[in-house]
Structure 1
Amino acid sequence: MVIKNGKGHSMVGFLGKREQREIKAELEKLKDYQDANNKSFVVAKKLQQIDILKASMGASN
């Protein structure tokens, strides 16, 4: 992520209120992505468990 604030690459350039708002906004985007990813993982895990159950039921019959 590039913050165009004209302050160069020093850490001082990240301490301003505007820069912190931009950083937080980018982190929120990642959080939303992570939340969606976690939900997808839970659904995939449930489907995997169903597949295992189906396979075990087929094997027992």
Structure 2
Amino acid sequence: MIQSAWFNIPVKDLEKSGEFFKAIGFVPGEQGNSPVSASFKIGEKQIVMMLFDEKVFENIT
């Protein structure tokens, strides 16, 4: 059984994207928050969504 799920999304503007997801009810997470990334918990299962500055995401992938 899957214990957790994470997905990563590249964004052009990390600050604006973070504010958008907070405004629609996503809960900021503790893991991965930095000047180039932000995390959010989604739903009861606590799925983790990571936002990455698109330049950083390019280097990761």
TM-score range, shorter chain: under 0.3
- The structure with the largest helix share of the pair is 1
Normalising by the residue count of structure 1, what TM-score does the alignment of the two structures yield?
A: 0.20
Structure showing greater relative contact order (alpha-carbon pairs closer than 8 Å, 6 or more residues apart): 2
